[in-house]
Amino acid sequence: MDLDEFYVALRGLFQADIPVDNGGQFTSESFFVADARLGVENLVLGRLEASPFVAVQNVFDAWYNSSVIVNAFGKRFYEPGPGRTFLLGLGITWGN
């Protein structure tokens, strides 16, 4: 297994404050969410090629609104995003 088959991916998302009503009285606060992923590409196991990975979404467990409903009834504008999430995955290809 060569070192070039390993990968690390880092991703960040910043969202500035956004108004959630026409009057501009209410806003959804700005936030930053970071994700990380580590994996191996094309790990050969006989006739199989495996690509396992581990990932963490929202690494710093930030509180944020993943969606807003503009002018929502009852001032229910905000839909919170998920907290820190851990993922394990495996891609398998039956090869030549």
Residue 2 has what pLDDT?
Answer: 60
What's 71's DSSP letter?
T
Distances (CA, A) of 16 to 7, 29, 33, 62, 78: 30, 7, 12, 14, 15
9-53 tens-digit pLDDT:
999 999 999 999 998 899 999 999 999 999 999 888 888 899 999
Residue 49: both structure tokens together? 């090629």
pTM reported for the whole predicted model: 0.79
Span 50-95, pLDDT tens digits = 999 999 999 999 999 999 999 988 888 999 999 999 999 999 999 7
Decide: 40 and 52 in contact? Cβ < 8 Å. yes
**Residue of 53, 60, 54 whose CA lies nearest to 81:** 60
